[in-house]
Amino acid sequence: MPAGQLFCDGGARGNPGPAGAAAILYGVRGEEIDSASAFLGDTTNNVAEYQGVLLGLDLARKHRLRDILIHLDSELVVRQLLGTYKVRHPGLRPLWEKSRWLLTAFGHWEVRHIPREENSAADRLVNLVLDQRA
């Protein structure tokens, strides 16, 4: 069982458009440990999704977790992080590289694709940060 679970999300209103990212970190018993969100300015959905992962990985490192299970509703980002898809877009490559580098700090990590409805808490944080900027 992972020491923590991350639920990460990002989104843009328009693509590109005003964007936000969020992550929620849970412990093994399902208790919320921490969360983070950020307004990103104008960018794409995929950049926002990666920024959500980066926020989450920073939270997990801050709380000194060794093992982590990451949940994302972005199939593209999941498959790129797992190496199933190549990162072809030059704007995503540095975000992918940073994500992969941060993952090396963990003893064990997994990334799983989940349906959007199972990521509603992180999605809610993304929309909250976007609504605050509207």
What percentage of the chain's residues is helix, strand, coil (to nearest 5)? 40, 35, 25
pLDDT digits (tens, 9 = 90+) for 62-115: 999 999 999 999 999 999 999 999 999 999 999 999 999 999 999 999 999 999
30: left (phi over 0), alpha (psi -120 to 50) or beta: left
Whether 14 shows a pLDDT value over 80: the answer reads yes
Q: Round the average pLDDT of the chain to a whole number and report it.
A: 96
Query: Based on the structure, what is the number of domains in the chain?
Result: 1
The end-to-end CA distance of the chain, in Å, is: 40
Query: Which residue range forms the structural domain that includes residue 29?
Result: 4-133
Read off the CATH number of the domain in which 64 is found: 3.30.420.10
| Contact assessment for residue 54 and residue 72, using Cβ atoms and an 8 Å cutoff | no
For residue 1, the model assigns a pLDDT of: 43
